[in-house]
Structure 1
Amino acid sequence: MPLRFLLSSTVRRFSSSAPSGGAAAESRTQKLERIADVLLSLTKEERKDYSTLFRLKLGLNHLVQAGGSVPWAGAGPGAEAAKPAEEKEKTAFDIKLEKFDAAAKIKVIKEVRTFTDLGLKEAKELVEKAPVVLKKGVTKEEAEAIAAKLKEVGATIALE
């Protein structure tokens, strides 16, 4: 059924002058109109937050985008289901070269060659592209060791 048809039939039902349910139906109509007015008055960011909250309250956690910062994530039944995903510790890291000292460029290139299978030319081109990801999917221990070595020679590293 097209959305336009559903909306038009709903509007006709709520805008009829004599609802079949009497005063109770009238108050329901007024309540729904008030809610619609409030929703229409929300800013774009508020609508996004409301949409996420509504999905969580309905238990549709799989429809909520991962990584979205939600200020009210601690409330509601959907919050308990979302917490285990946050508690998982990251196991694979990407090593990203943010920048390096110009005087230490040769040392950085040599160090990059030690943990990659790149030749001198490829390593030089990679380092010159900074900021760039040098290696993906590395364990935490290995990533920290590589980052420490690169920092010693004058590079700024980020683990993602």
Structure 2
Amino acid sequence: MRRSSFYLIRLPRSIPNSCFVRRKSTSTWLPKPPPEPSQRVSAIVDELSGLTLLELADLTEALRTRLRVDQMPVVAVMTPGMPLGGLPGGKAGAGGAVAAAKEEKAEKTAFDLKLESFDAAVKIKVIKEVRSFTDLGLKEAKDLVEKAPAVLKKGVLKEEALKIVEKMKEVGAKVVMD
């Protein structure tokens, strides 16, 4: 039997356990201080720190117009006891759901391609075409085509999806973009 390089050693009871306790280090680890800003940045910080709140509001508006920023970003802050959907006492996420639905209807960029049906006579051509735009092997592509309607590919960009749909129509298969 081979012995491991890690094995227990029995020590006599005459050696106290405190000999093996690691003492705390006297040095403390401090994080590395951030690099000093340039002289120009320091001058801007000094000047901005001397502004009043009204002057800061005017500065914000001036920067928004100069940089062509239409809307300020919305920052949500969670407080203890606040429901996940929104403000306390309000309907959880009612306004957010409507806004999300409008954004989704605006323009969809990624589509799922679904094989609806195909002619039995062109099954081999459909399988070859499915293999050309997926990473599937012959058996996997055949199984996928045989269990139609099935999703061929997910998250395809609009241009690529349109090309694939056209190729599949030429072969004799019906493909739908979801």
The TM-score normalised by the length of structure 2 is: 0.45
More helix by percentage: 1
Larger radius of gyration: 2
Give TM-score, length-normalised by structure 1: 0.50
